[in-house]
Copies of this chain bind each other. A is one copy, B any other.
Amino acid sequence: MPHLIVEYSANLSGFPEAQMLAELNQTVTASPEIPDEIELKSRCVAHASYAVGTQTTGRAFVHAQLRLLSGRSPEAKLDFSQRIVDVLRRLTPQPEGVLVQLSVEIVDMDRPSYIKTRL
């Protein structure tokens, strides 16, 4: 059931989208909290239209959001964040003269109203 959304500012040219998603999915599904790897649906979005603070150049960001059914412990959620930020740190390009911010957010999804099925 988890959903992972990775967004990044498009000035991070060469951002390795496919590798990023592959390695993120590897580490996230390796958590004991995820019983079946197939449940993790991940996507990557490059933003050509972005702004970081009030300065127009020299800044970039990557933000990953993991959406999980509610009920995980604070420790389990923090563990997910750490798994994710480790991959972001390793694979995000660092263009010369650009300050790159990385962030990871865990979101609880409302469990009673969540529906999942397969065609």
User: Which one of B94, B110, B118 lies within 8 Å of A101 (CB-CB)?
Assistant: B118
Q: Please give the number of chain A residues whose Cβ is less than 8 angstroms from any Cβ of chain B in the complex.
A: 67
Q: Return the chain B residue nearest A101 by Cβ.
A: B118
Decide: A45 near B44, CB < 8 A? Known: A38-B59, A102-B117, A115-B82. no
Please tell me how many copies of the chain the complex holds.
3
Q: Which residues 31-50 of A sit at the B interface, judged by CB distance below 8 A?
A: 36-47, 49-50
Q: Which residues 93-110 of A sit at the B interface, judged by CB distance below 8 A?
A: 94, 99-110
User: Which one of B42, B53, B61, B106 lies within 8 Å of A25 (CB-CB)?
Assistant: B53
User: Which one of B37, B56, B80, B89 lies within 8 Å of A117 (CB-CB)?
Assistant: B89
Q: Please tell me if A9 contacts chain B, counting CB pairs below 8 Å.
A: yes
Is B38 in contact with A53, judged by CB distance below 8 angstroms?
yes
Task: Give me 25 A-to-B residue pairs in the complex whose CB atoms sit less than 8 angstroms apart, sorted by A's number.
Answer: A7-B43, A18-B51, A21-B51, A25-B51, A26-B54, A29-B54, A37-B55, A40-B53, A41-B63, A41-B103, A42-B51, A43-B47, A44-B47, A45-B47, A45-B49, A77-B110, A77-B112, A81-B115, A85-B117, A99-B119, A101-B117, A101-B118, A102-B117, A104-B114, A105-B114
